[in-house]
Copies of this chain bind each other. A is one copy, B any other.
């Protein structure tokens, strides 16, 4: 921690700050410049609340030196992590992995038709929700465990893997028996009860970025899971809230190279939630891959106009096929390949 004192501050105030730092267990190095005195405070206090020093008389600014996350940082593992979620499917390797499927499992017929379609077009993972967080109590809430069963069956039929969302610690045990990758939604990125529960299992976790989460907060949430012993975390950018409302959210494509620099974890993008409109999904999916994403999460429905939820942001199967064709052209530009 570096403490910058105000210009021309009295010796007494400087000494008071030093005393406080020592009382908190820090070693203090003092450096007296022409205009500023700067204090370096050394010691392992990852949880230290820097505001306790910031508010002391005569202090201008306090800067943390140590990153608040360790296990998620690039320094911890300088090579990028490659996360294996099932036979032949690895995030962070040479292949860009695509998970596709409907917003929600609606019926056996629906999920089998979509599974067949996305498999044929090159997806490796089937995505769909069984428990839906909805803004209204009157909306379709998902099929629950029955939906997970259908999802697993449909995926197995075509050799796909499965990703689905877990919303509550009480569901972790049950859901992990059906899926290959457990998804944490944006609204739960800081649900610490849930993160802790996921740290204790050994299934890979797909951690979506919260709508107003900084990149640092996002990596801290990953750290939360990893500190429990589960290192298999894949990050998913899905749009942040800004003043611009022409799309639901602003998909922060620049977060992809930013994460690559700060962390060794794989990162994918969800252009469906990131834009909320079918006609924006393909451009943003292509952009994400071109920027270096390790994969994509895409909503696809065989009949979006009659989808029970999020039809407006679901691609038709033909559109998904067209997108996959485009991505096969782009992937070599970033030294990658598609399935």
- Tell me the A residues contacting B by CB distance below 8 Å: 2, 4, 6-8, 29, 31, 33-36, 38, 40, 42, 46-47, 49, 51-52, 54-55, 60, 63, 65-68, 75, 133-139, 167-168, 170, 187, 190-193, 196, 211-212, 214-217, 220, 224, 227-228, 240-247, 250-258, 261-262, 274-280, 283-284, 286-292, 305, 309-313, 326-327, 329-330, 332-334
Contacts and interface: CB of A to CB of B under 8 A. Distances in A.
A253 B192 contact: no
Give 9 closest A-B pairs by Cβ, nearest first: A51-B312, A212-B212, A286-B290, A290-B290, A287-B287, A329-B333, A283-B291, A7-B75, A287-B291
Contacts of A190: 133, 135, 187
A245 B214 contact: yes
A277 B51 contact: yes
A212 B213 CA distance: 9
A38 B42 CA distance: 11
A23 to B, nearest CB: 10
A142 to B, nearest CB: 12
B38 A65 contact: yes
Nearest to A65: B4
A244 B215 contact: yes
Contact of A55 (B38, B54, B277): B277
Contact of A279 (B196, B261, B311): B261
A330 B290 contact: yes
Given A243-B212, A253-B284, A196 B52 contact: no
A54 B305 CA distance: 12
Q: Which of A54, A139, A243 has the most CB of B within 10 A?
A: A243
Nearest to A67: B60
Given A133-B192, A135-B220, A247-B254, 18 more contacts: A49-B311, A51-B312, A68-B136, A136-B220, A136-B224, A137-B228, A242-B243, A244-B255, A250-B250, A254-B284, A286-B290, A286-B291, A287-B291, A289-B290, A326-B333, A326-B334, A329-B332, A330-B330
